[in-house]
Structure 1
């Protein structure tokens, strides 16, 4: 199978509560993680999508694989190995400011290595998506995304990088150094402002952040600014896009991953950067109405309808 999008990263078991963690006693099993969320969003946006990862061989991992397949994500690149599949616990938080309680140390996905890559599969993919979370899981994970980026970029595909800076996984200095190292093999970078841009570039201004991305050699930059919208920049020619208002606000978990997956899918399918960014913004807006990372992943039809019928500020 030739893929439009290959996502590399760690899917997680999600134990979600309808109340804040300070009060919650009942949790619902779900499946999430930035890579899984983005892969499901890319598939929903119309792309033939595969998730490349390692999972354990237990029953919950079986359910996770079935979850992916039911949502149109190809699981042929999922390796089943010994060890656990990682997880996290979260409570309801519409503002998206709480921390997660992670249960991922030593998970199967942290053992990803370059030998897990099939050069033929990667070279034929139209786009690759991965994040700073994946690269920060372990040295072998970092080596894997470096190798994958070279394969896809070398064959002319898009390589999309969401820095997704997490101080629990890395330092600002290491995250900035990794971005600079990856930059020559990237076509699109998706830093958030101020969280990513402050760590990577020491700035919070979206225009300056996009300029820093270009100076490192990345042709496209899309700087997400939450309620303040996007800065879309093509080799320095930039445009600000307003936020697409969310019809319902339940939980911010996974909205950024939905954005990244949708944008990557639409670029792989031939949309312009501007059109892909608009659709991704609308998809992320709808995703805010679901609980957990994949509580609401809109279809392409739903996203397009939301974009064309919702007044923007």
Structure 2
């Protein structure tokens, strides 16, 4: 470990400037500014659970890059590995599409974070962290980012948690499935949504079949997230168990709920909790997050999660 560096958890990925609207993007004229992105959402959530979490990324040498670093630091994230680099700070706009779901438009091509590569992993505490959280969105940003994700999975000595988090506007099913195949043998846990991730990457929608397929790829365990249906948790040859979802007290926006689940789960694993307890905590945090707008609109604290868990 690099001298003086002590972290429980590392997240590799791109934080984003978020412009959110309550209307469809084709019609919206007013947007709310915040900060989000899967890596930032998970990092902030993990910090709120008490984990010492480092976000490894690059942001632009611009006002938004500075604001993102400040935003993360104010929420307890270790920002020493949020490097400033050429290229703009990534952003996205999100609005309600005509069916009432959330639709995203990304502005991250050529962003500072898209320049990340294996060297960013080597300059970070990935090799020594208890848990390393990696995602398919990061791998989809650029070829060098995909190399960074693969390198981090191999370099980690702690537990690797991988979330494919498939986004059709960023990558193809074939490319995303290739990363999953390469990372799974190094992953203590693959968190995969059904049918969103599983249908595109595995051609499967039945939870037990999805879990078996990921275990066959080499994952140590699998958490198949099923929205209101909870989570199917499979470990090795043990009989899979269903972890129920917690009803949300209020539903404002689903953006970032999966990231809250992953960040909380990883934080609880980093502090030595069992996988089942970590998954239950993740479902509680995801439920709480639904009450806020945007990916970081409502971040569940450790006390709040434990209150939901009862």
Question: In 2, Cα distance between the equivalents of 1:90 and 1:168?
Answer: 13
Question: In 1, Cα distance between the equivalents of 2:96 and 2:277?
Answer: 32
CA-atom RMSD, angstroms?
A: 1.5
What residue in structure 2 maps to residue 311 of structure 1?
A: none
Question: In 1, Cα distance between the equivalents of 2:160 and 2:101?
Answer: 29
Cα drift, residue 22 of structure 1: 4.3
**Are the counterparts in 2 of residues 159 and 185 from structure 1 also a CA contact under 8 Å?**
yes
Name structure 1 gaps, 5 residues minimum.
309-313
- Aligned pair 1:258/2:266, yes or no? no
Q: Which deviations, in whole Å up to 9, do the C-alpha atoms of 1:179-228 show, x marking residues without a partner? A: 11112211110000001111222110111111111111111100000011
What residue in structure 1 maps to residue 132 of structure 2?
A: 128
Cα drift, residue 119 of structure 1: 5.9
Number of residues of Structure 1 aligned to a counterpart in Structure 2: 304
Aligned-partner SS, 2:127: helix
Q: When the two structures are superposed, what TM-score results if normalisation uses the length of structure 1?
A: 0.94
- Aligned pair 1:249/2:245, yes or no? no
**Are the counterparts in 1 of residues 161 and 188 from structure 2 also a CA contact under 8 Å?**
yes
Question: In 2, Cα distance between the equivalents of 1:97 and 1:236?
Answer: 37
- Aligned pair 1:216/2:220, yes or no? no
Question: In 1, Cα distance between the equivalents of 2:20 and 2:168?
Answer: 22
- Greater shift in the superposed pair: 124-133 or 281-290: 124-133
Match runs of 1:176-215 below 5 Å: 176-215=177-216
Name structure 2 gaps, 5 residues minimum.
none
What residue in structure 1 maps to residue 269 of structure 2?
A: 267
Cα drift, residue 117 of structure 1: 2.2
Question: In 2, Cα distance between the equivalents of 1:117 and 1:150?
Answer: 11
What residue in structure 2 maps to residue 117 of structure 1?
A: 121
Aligned-partner SS, 2:192: coil
**Are the counterparts in 2 of residues 260 and 280 from structure 1 also a CA contact under 8 Å?**
yes
Cα drift, residue 236 of structure 1: 3.5
What residue in structure 2 maps to residue 276 of structure 1?
A: 278
Question: In 2, Cα distance between the equivalents of 1:254 and 1:5?
Answer: 19
**Are the counterparts in 2 of residues 192 and 225 from structure 1 also a CA contact under 8 Å?**
yes
Question: In 2, Cα distance between the equivalents of 1:183 and 1:139?
Answer: 19
Q: When the two structures are superposed, what TM-score results if normalisation uses the length of structure 2?
A: 0.94
Question: In 2, Cα distance between the equivalents of 1:171 and 1:120?
Answer: 29
Question: In 2, Cα distance between the equivalents of 1:209 and 1:96?
Answer: 28
Structure 1 residues 69 and 145: alpha-carbon distance in aligned structure 2, compared to 1, 3 A threshold: same
- Greater shift in the superposed pair: 195-204 or 171-180: 171-180
Question: In 2, Cα distance between the equivalents of 1:99 and 1:19?
Answer: 10
What residue in structure 2 maps to residue 168 of structure 1?
A: 169
What residue in structure 2 maps to residue 2 of structure 1?
A: 6
Structure 1 stretches of at least 4 aligned residues deviating more than 4 Å after TM superposition: none
Match runs of 1:217-232 below 5 Å: 217-232=218-233
Q: Which deviations, in whole Å up to 9, do the C-alpha atoms of 1:124-144 show, x marking residues without a partner? A: 111111111101111100111
